[in-house]
């Protein structure tokens, strides 16, 4: 199943954490990493006061299991990379979010697909547009590129590193 996953980090060696998460996700994919965006530096949104900037990226993998299986794997990756949850939107070593799992629509307590706020977050949509601008987000009206047009200027976001 073609799956888009967002990665974010805002403490420690942020690029290292993105690279480690990407490596672990590559091992879950039937075809390694199909596509990956550049890494973007972004200002925090709805985070604790004084939270550091994030590094964000989006990757696409082909996953053979279920969305629930992948959620368990992404949470394991976060734990392996020292993710701690002491407050909502607190600084984190790594955040691994499933954005889209094929065209699946799912609304459960632990998992909602597509990610319910992805189209409202420039730090997600801009890297997603880099690798899949024509992706029509399941259950929504527009493509990723069309949502990005509405989000231009809503958050400071700048290219951090093209190759990682």
| Catalytic one of 22, 92, 121, 122 | 92
d(CA 9, CA 53): 8
Instruction: Examine the residue annotation and report whether 92 is marked as an active-site residue of this protein.
Output: yes
d(CA 123, CA 55): 9
Instruction: Examine the residue annotation and report whether 31 is marked as an active-site residue of this protein.
Output: no
The phi, psi pair for 62, rounded to 5°, reads: -105, 120
d(CA 42, CA 18): 14
Q: What residues pair up with 5 in beta bridges, in sequence order?
A: 59, 98
Q: Which two tokens stand for residue 70?
A: 């992948």
Instruction: Examine the residue annotation and report whether 97 is marked as an active-site residue of this protein.
Output: yes
* Residue whose entry in the numeric block shows the structure tokens 């390694």: 32
Instruction: Examine the residue annotation and report whether 156 is marked as an active-site residue of this protein.
Output: no
| Catalytic one of 62, 82, 95, 136 | 95
Helix (H, G, I), strand (E, B) or coil at 25: helix
| Catalytic one of 97, 156, 161, 163 | 97
| Catalytic one of 35, 82, 83, 150 | 83
Catalytic residue numbers, as ranges: 83, 92, 95, 97
């Amino acid at each position: 199943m073609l799956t888009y996953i967002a990665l974010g980090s805002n403490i420690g060696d942020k690029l290292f954490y993105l690279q480690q998460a990407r490596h672990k996700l590559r091992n879950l994919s039937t075809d390694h990493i199909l596509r990956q965006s550049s890494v973007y530096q972004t200002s925090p949104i709805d985070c604790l006061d004084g939270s550091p900037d994030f590094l964000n990226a989006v990757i696409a993998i082909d996953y053979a299991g279920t969305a629930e299986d992948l959620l368990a794997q992404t949470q394991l990756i976060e734990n392996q990379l020292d993710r701690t949850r002491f407050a909502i939107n607190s600084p984190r070593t790594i955040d691994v979010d499933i954005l889209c799992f094929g065209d699946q629509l799912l609304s459960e307590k632990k998992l909602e697909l597509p990610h319910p706020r992805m189209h409202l977050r420039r730090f997600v949509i801009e890297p997603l547009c880099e690798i899949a601008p024509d992706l029509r987000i399941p259950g929504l009206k527009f493509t990723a590129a069309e949502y990005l047009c509405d989000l231009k200027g809503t958050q400071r976001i700048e290219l951090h590193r093209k190759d990682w």
